[in-house]
Chain A
Amino acid sequence: MEPTPTNPRIDQFRSDVAELDIKTPADSGERTYLIIGIVLMVVGGLLVFAGYWGASGTAIVAEQIPFMLSGGFLGVGVMLVGAAMFVRYSLSRYLRFWLIRTIYEERTQSDKVVESLASIEALLRDANRIGVDADRT
């Protein structure tokens, strides 16, 4: 078969493809965000611990306040942000896998049901035929 580069449809196709507005696929960065979430949780925990460590070193409340603010509140905040990121990105991954798994299981189950019905049908047909043969004899 000879190539037909002058085919008007092909020319149209070339110009349509040239005009396509293609966006570079956005890297979902799911894994990166998941790791950032874990790191933030750990950093938040360390900040809380550092705050506690600093505050416990003095009995004067005025000196404890900076530790409470930078260690306690900031640490808890960072932990919460990290936890939110972790839940958001691990959950979407999990739900995606779960959905695919469910679809797969469902297909397998319906295949099995169809198979069983076919074998039941075959058995009934055979039984019916044997019954008819027995009646004749």
Chain B
Amino acid sequence: MNAPARGEHPEPPLLALHGVRAAYGRIEVVHGIDLELPAGSVFALLGPNGAGKSTTLAVCCGLMVPTSGSVWLAGRKINGASPDQLARAGVCTIPEGRSVVPNLTVRENLQMMTYVGVSLRDVEEVAYARFPRLGERRTQLAGTMSGGEQQMLAMARGLATDPALLLLDELSMGLAPLIVEELYGIVAQIAAEGVSILVVEQFAHSVLEVADTAAIMLHGRITRVGPPHEIEDELSAAYLGA
């Protein structure tokens, strides 16, 4: 099988899914989706709860092997690559629900990322430069911080690995709209630096402001792909099943 879209673009998309199906045991939740994320762009995958968005993300980061179809990363088919191989190459996943260790301090949480071979000093420098608020709270237990700060810490930890592809799952979950806006501002900055980003979201407004392309996913299928402003108009109708 050849790399997708090779004839049309000089460079293949950084991430591409072709006819991907994924299942938990016998229950298939993703029914053959196609998706392409060019280098340096932001793709927003939107859909209601249970649409298969997080499963799609799990397929992209190697946590799940698709039952059929293919996952392509930078022009290479990577079906079956382990999550740690992909993480080492530069795929960073920030799962939903603020994946910080609550009984460790901010600094200790960041220290966890030194396993990739970066010194704690460098990790801290990058993290505090991007999220000054974390610098003020470096000795505070992560579990005692606000939801937004915990999400910032999760992002800072992910970004310490210098990712090329960032997979964000429900960044806005349980956060106040202002905080969400602030976080998506940071996502836009990260994208401007050339990192490709696939964002999965249930509630969409802020993410559409920073996305280059958006797609609606319903019942395990991508029903619509297009520019964010067009998708925003169709979103509520899609959610309500109109």
The chain A residues found within 8 Å of chain B, CB to CB, are 1-5, 7, 9-10, 12-14, 16-18, 20-25
Beyond A17-B89, A20-B81, A20-B89, 17 additional contacts (C-beta under 8 Å) are A1-B41, A1-B192, A1-B212, A3-B40, A4-B39, A5-B10, A7-B39, A9-B90, A10-B74, A12-B90, A12-B164, A14-B74, A16-B89, A17-B78, A20-B76, A22-B80, A25-B80
Majority DSSP secondary structure for residues of B touching A: loop
Chain B contributes a number of interface residues (CB within 8 A of A) equal to 31
Taking a contact as CB atoms under 8 Å apart, the answer to whether A20 and B40 are in contact is: no
Q: How far is the CA of A9 from the CA of B86 in the complex (A)?
A: 15
Q: How far is the CA of A7 from the CA of B90 in the complex (A)?
A: 14
Give the residues from 45 to 96 in chain B that come closer than 8 angstroms, CB to CB, to chain A: 65, 73-76, 78-81, 85-86, 88-90
| Candidates A1, A14, A22; contact of B81 at CB < 8 Å | A22
Confirm or deny: B106 has a beta carbon within 8 angstroms of a beta carbon on chain A: no
- Which residues of B are found within 8 Å of A5, using beta-carbon distances? 10-11, 38-40
Q: How far is the CA of A71 from the CA of B210 in the complex (A)?
A: 73
Taking a contact as CB atoms under 8 Å apart, the answer to whether A13 and B90 are in contact is: yes
Q: How far is the CA of A20 from the CA of B165 in the complex (A)?
A: 16
| Candidates B41, B79, B81, B90; contact of A3 at CB < 8 Å | B41
Taking a contact as CB atoms under 8 Å apart, the answer to whether B81 and A10 are in contact is: no
Q: How far is the CA of A34 from the CA of B235 in the complex (A)?
A: 46
Nearest-CB residue, chain B, relative to A18? B76
Q: How far is the CB of A2 from chain B (nearest CB, A)?
A: 7
Taking a contact as CB atoms under 8 Å apart, the answer to whether B38 and A3 are in contact is: yes
Q: How far is the CB of B159 from chain A (nearest CB, A)?
A: 12
Q: How far is the CB of A38 from chain B (nearest CB, A)?
A: 19
Q: How far is the CB of A104 from chain B (nearest CB, A)?
A: 13
Taking a contact as CB atoms under 8 Å apart, the answer to whether B74 and A13 are in contact is: yes
Q: How far is the CA of A9 from the CA of B10 in the complex (A)?
A: 18
Give the residues from 1 to 53 in chain B that come closer than 8 angstroms, CB to CB, to chain A: 10-11, 14, 38-42
Taking a contact as CB atoms under 8 Å apart, the answer to whether A10 and B89 are in contact is: no
- Which residues of B are found within 8 Å of A20, using beta-carbon distances? 76, 78, 81, 85-86, 89
